[in-house]
């Protein structure tokens, strides 16, 4: 098969072909590929990179830094200026200053963003190396672990329980291999795979390809070996790679919401500015250029860079607190999260589960129950869990090793059906002396439901109602004490292959009781999370009694508890209501955990999910912030946004704080800058109607915006008030328009005062007459330069100082102090940009030096402006109960 053949046809072809054809077509030897062959196939079929990672290069970031809607507008302005000021101008009036300034602004803005982007990429690459996923591949005659991104079509790889399938594979060997495609298809069924070729009728769906496993699937149990058919974006399911492929996340939705607010303001203001300038000045071409500059001036140019800096700083801070932030956008999710869903085992309880008792049906210690449980835990190839580990630990006790080795030798494995969350038990078929034994271990209710008999000291009797009553008489007390109890049963079985129809009429022989003590740190962490207004919801597959016992000890509300069976009978309306009231969900399947998360999200919550087992995978992917631990199943780690190097809720509390601080600083920049720019544009509209010239040239307006935005790059390092990060913060543009409409026009009031003072008092006194009375040459040009410089300084001073006023609800500098970097940069900014008007650099863009008398007026206007904004801020917070 050639690379030009559709991947769908390639999958179909090799599903019906034998493995000899596979090895022949891809020229695979018994030793697998060597590095030269791998490089050749990588060039021919592509790399195993997903969701655009292949394009995540320096060239890609260079293009993204310099080519975006706002830089395109600047390019257009530079082109128009070049045509009008250079190409079409006379030799005497030819001037390329405007073009050079705009291009310099483009270069500086792009370079600053590129540096930040490359810095972010470096952090992301470093984090990816920490949590990368390896795969066992046959290369050069040896099995060795390599990064899944290095796989090529034709590689031979091995799969184990807990793996995420790294590419589309045609199986060449399978041993009790079961996979789940829930994460890529939404189907919760566990599928058994084999290495046999398909024959007969054409299959109707990819789920029926029994010898193909698809990229993104999770290995639930067993082992397998296969040849890679497709990698990266060529995979059948489009190179699924975690939560990003499930649709736009909350971060993207919030960013789009903010962008649309800005676009709506542009759509209204730009035509108004164009019409006002054109009608009053009569120069429609210049009015068009000025309207384009307004478009740039209205939008925070450095928005992507400031956001990246805030997120990168937050993720870097988390990296120093035993937390790896894989997806940098998850920092925003931390800031907005108001519900945290957690699994019980290992999160609220310790990672070490102890097998306390192994009992017969009357509660007496029973060695035979332990032996049967040991064989079940030893032979089933599903993802290992705490309970199996606790059972297998008994072989390491002094004097026990030989006994368990003998048990295993006498009972070799024949077949198995792995644990799944519908049956809730694992089945293993082993040989015995005279017959084969089918041994099951799992949920008390599910195992007992399938038992027809009970056995005590070799005597067997019918289960019946009395049998159920005796079972509950033994185990109920242990469940109420918070212990997890599993049932063990067996049955003789003819044949050496298992089928789900065989799982009936078992003989119950006893129970296993495990103790999973609550973590000492969990209660304190839960209290801290509640103080941050993050609700805790426990989603566990454990029994109701065990979940209630642990949650009560940790102070989690257990007044309403819901089991998986109750959940499945809820109507849609009931579900929406019950989700809000219920804090503990027990006996849930993975699909039900997913549905709980989805329901909470549909109720408007930002949901985090902390899990480490394969049963948590769908919910981790669906949640707004998927959280796992470094000891979790590989598939879960790959799908999570955040990896905890220490499984402790206290680390999460620190993550939430960092996320909210990062969000707060992003919000400061967006809201303050957008409202300030809106005020400037509003002032321009008014001034353009009444003034015979532009209150500020397009270049001056663009430069003012760029200089201000450059100062704002320090905001990610600003301090955040405690009352700001105690509440979850919403990332959207829902209230941005209101903030802009409220605070923007306030600055316009003082802009108009400045206009009046400059036009009727200051400029006439300096120039020796009103604008109309001056000569059309140098006199009017001096008048315009003084006016534009005066407003440039007033606008720059108020924009910079308003940062201090609106960055906090409190009184700035006294009740809430900014960081030293913010204080230093804003002070230097005012000083440098004021001095610039006295230098040749200022003269190049039409600014001029001002007499000292103007600065007295400027200080008075700025102080009055800050005083009015202080009162306005107090009123705004009182009415809307928020600022940022």
- Integer Rg of the chain from CA: 34
Instruction: Please report, in angstroms and rounded to a whole number, the separation of the first and last CA atoms in the chain.
Output: 58
Q: Give the burial string for 362-395 (b: 16+ CB within 10 Å, else e).
A: ebeebebbbbbbbbbbbbbbbbebbbbebbbebb
Q: Residue 715 and residue 669: Cα distance in Å, rounded?
A: 7
User: Which residue among the candidates 176, 234, 338, 343 is catalytic per the annotation?
Assistant: 343
Round to whole Å and give the CA distance between 543 and 564. 10
Could you write out the DSSP letters of every residue in 337-391?
--EEEE-STTTTB-S--EEEEEEETTS-B-HHHHHHHHHHHHH--B---HHHHHH
**Cα–chain center distance at 238:** 20
Residue bearing tokens 């999370």: 529
3-state helix, strand, coil in the chain (%, to 5): 55, 15, 30
Whole-Å CA distances, 438 to 140, 371, 496, 602: 42, 13, 10, 44
Are 716 and 120 a contacting pair, CB within 8 Å? Answer: no
Q: Which two tokens stand for residue 382?
A: 């599903």
Q: Would you say 407 and 374 are in contact if contact means Cβ atoms under 8 Å apart?
A: yes
451-456 and 506-515 as β-strands: parallel, antiparallel, unpaired? parallel
Q: Is 343 tagged catalytic?
A: yes
Q: Which residue has the tokens 């120039």?
A: 767
**In whole angstroms, what is the distance from residue 550 CA to residue 453 CA?**
33
Nearest-angstrom CA–CA distance, 792 and 847: 8
DSSP string, 688-720: HHH-SS-SS-HHHHHHHHHHHHHHGGGGGG---
Pairing type for strands 354-360 and 625-629 reads unpaired
d(CA 88, CA 176): 79
The position carrying tokens 């008030």 is 721
Helical packing angle, 778-806 and 820-836, nearest 10°? 170
Residues paired with 427 in a beta bridge: 417, 440
Give the SS3 label for residue 210: coil
Using CA atoms, how far residue 267 sits from 272, 273, 298, in Å, is: 9, 11, 11
Q: Give residue for tokens 């390019």.
A: 75
Name residues whose C-beta falls within 8 Å of residue 290's C-beta, 6 or more positions apart in sequence: 273, 274, 277, 694, 697, 698
How far from chain centre, in Å, is Cα 119? 19
Phi/psi for 412 (5° steps) reads: -65, 150
Q: How far apart are CA 451 and CA 434, in angstroms?
A: 22
d(CA 431, CA 30): 34
Whole-number Å distance between alpha carbons of 701 and 709: 12
Torsion angle, alpha carbons of 576, 580, 581, 584, to 10:
100
Strand-pair partners of 569: none
How far apart CA 789 and CA 835 sit, in angstroms, is 12
Residue 472 Ramachandran class (φ > 0 left, ψ -120 to 50 alpha, else beta): alpha
What is the DSSP code string of 703-764? HHHHHHHHHGGGGGG----HHHHTS----SSTTHHHHHHHHHHHHHHHHHHHHHHIIIIIHH
Residues 142/33, Cβ–Cβ less than 8 Å: no
Phi, then psi, of 505 in degrees rounded to 5: 55, 45
Question: In a 3-state reduction of DSSP, which class is residue 176?
Answer: strand
Catalytic residue positions, numbered: 343
């Amino acid at each position: 098969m050639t690379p030009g053949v559709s991947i769908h046809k390639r999958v179909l072809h090799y599903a019906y072909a034998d493995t000899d054809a596979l090895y022949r077509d891809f020229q695979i030897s018994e030793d697998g590929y060597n590095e030269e062959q791998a490089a050749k196939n990588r060039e021919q079929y592509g790399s195993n990179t997903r969701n655009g990672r292949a394009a995540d290069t320096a060239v890609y970031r260079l293009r993204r830094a310099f080519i975006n809607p706002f830089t395109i507008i600047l390019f257009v302005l530079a082109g128009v200026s070049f045509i009008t000021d250079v190409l079409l101008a006379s030799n005497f009036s030819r001037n390329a200053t405007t073009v050079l300034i705009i291009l310099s602004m483009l270069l500086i803005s792009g370079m600053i963003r590129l540096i930040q982007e490359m810095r972010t990429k470096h952090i992301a690459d470093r984090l990816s190396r920490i949590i990368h996923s390896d795969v066992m591949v046959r290369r050069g005659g040896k099995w060795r672990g390599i990064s899944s991104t290095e796989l090529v079509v034709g590689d031979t790889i091995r799969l184990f329980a807990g793996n995420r399938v790294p590419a589309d594979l045609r199986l060449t060997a399978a041993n009790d291999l079961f996979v789940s495609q829930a994460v890529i298809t939404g189907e919760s069924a566990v599928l058994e795979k084999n290495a046999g070729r398909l024959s007969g009728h054409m299959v109707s769906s990819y789920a029926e390809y029994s010898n193909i496993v698809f990229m993104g699937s999770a290995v639930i149990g067993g082992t397998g070996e296969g040849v890679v058919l497709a990698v990266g974006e060529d995979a059948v399911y489009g190179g699924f790679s975690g939560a990003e492929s499930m649709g736009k996340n909350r971060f993207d939705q919030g960013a789009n919401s903010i962008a649309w607010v800005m676009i709506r303001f542009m759509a209204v203001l730009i035509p108004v500015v164009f019409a006002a300038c054109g009608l009053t000045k009569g120069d429609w071409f210049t009015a068009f250029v000025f309207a384009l500059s307004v478009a740039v001036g209205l939008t925070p140019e450095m928005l992507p860079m400031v956001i990246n800096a805030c997120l990168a700083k937050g993720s870097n801070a988390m990296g120093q607190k035993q937390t790896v932030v894989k997806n940098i956008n998850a920092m925003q999710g931390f800031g907005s999260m108001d519900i945290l869903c957690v699994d019980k085992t290992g999160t609220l309880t310790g990672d070490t589960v102890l097998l306390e008792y192994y009992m017969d049906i009357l509660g007496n210690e029973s060695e035979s129950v332990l032996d049967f449980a040991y064989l079940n835990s030893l032979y089933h190839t599903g993802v290992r869990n705490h309970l199996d580990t606790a059972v297998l630990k008994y072989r390491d006790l002094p004097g026990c090793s030989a006994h368990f080795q003998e048990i295993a030798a006498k009972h070799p494995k024949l077949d198995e059906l792995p644990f799944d969350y519908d049956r809730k038990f694992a089945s293993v078929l082993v040989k015995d002396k005279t017959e084969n034994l089918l041994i099951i271990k799992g949920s008390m209710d599910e195992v007992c439901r399938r038992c027809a008999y009970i056995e005590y000291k070799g005597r067997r009797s019918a289960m019946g109602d009395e049998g159920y009553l005796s079972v509950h008489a033994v185990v109920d007390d242990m469940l109420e004490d918070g212990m997890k109890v599993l049932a063990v049963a067996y049955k003789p079985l003819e044949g050496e292959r298992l089928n789900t129809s065989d799982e009936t009429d078992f003989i119950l022989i006893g129970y296993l009781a495990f103790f999973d003590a609550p973590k000492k740190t969990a209660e304190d962490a839960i209290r801290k999370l509640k103080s941050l207004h993050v609700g805790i919801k426990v989603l566990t597959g454990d029994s109701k009694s065990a979940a209630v016992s642990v949650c009560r000890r940790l102070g989690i509300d257990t007044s309403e508890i819901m089991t998986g069976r109750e959940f499945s009978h809820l109507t849609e309306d009931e579900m929406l209501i019950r989700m809000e009231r219920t804090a503990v969900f027990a006996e849930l399947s993975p699909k039900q955990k997913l549905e709980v998360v989805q329901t909470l999200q549909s109720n408007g919550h930002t949901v985090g999910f902390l899990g480490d087992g394969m049963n948590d995978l769908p919910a981790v992917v669906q949640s707004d912030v998927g959280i796992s631990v470094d000891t979790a199943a590989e598939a879960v780690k790959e799908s999570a946004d955040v990896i905890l190097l220490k499984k402790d809720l206290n680390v999460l509390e620190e993550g939430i704080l960092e996320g909210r601080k990062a969000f707060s600083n992003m919000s400061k920049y967006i809201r303050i800058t957008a409202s300030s720019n809106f005020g400037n544009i509003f002032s321009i509209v008014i001034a353009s109607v009444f003034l015979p010239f532009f209150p500020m040239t397009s270049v001056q307006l663009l430069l003012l915006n760029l200089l201000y935005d450059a100062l704002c790059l320090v905001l990610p390092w600003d301090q955040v008030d405690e009352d700001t990060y105690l509440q979850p913060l919403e990332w959207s543009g829902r209230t941005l328009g209101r903030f802009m409409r409220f605070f923007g026009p306030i600055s316009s009031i003082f802009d108009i005062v400045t206009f009046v003072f400059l036009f009727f008092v200051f400029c006439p006194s300096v120039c020796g007459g009103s604008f109309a009375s001056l000569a059309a040459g140098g006199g009017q040009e001096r008048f315009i330069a003084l006016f534009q410089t005066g407003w440039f300084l007033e606008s720059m001073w108020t924009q910079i100082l308003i940062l201090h006023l609106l960055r906090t609800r409190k009184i700035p500098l006294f009740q809430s102090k900014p960081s030293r970097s913010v204080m230093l940069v804003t002070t230097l900014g005012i000083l440098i940009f004021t001095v610039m008007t006295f230098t040749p650099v200022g003269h190049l863009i039409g600014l001029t030096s001002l007499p000292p008398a103007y600065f007295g007026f400027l200080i008075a206007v700025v102080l009055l402006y800050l005083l009015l904004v202080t009162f306005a801020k107090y009123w705004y917070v009182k009415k809307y109960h928020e600022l940022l």
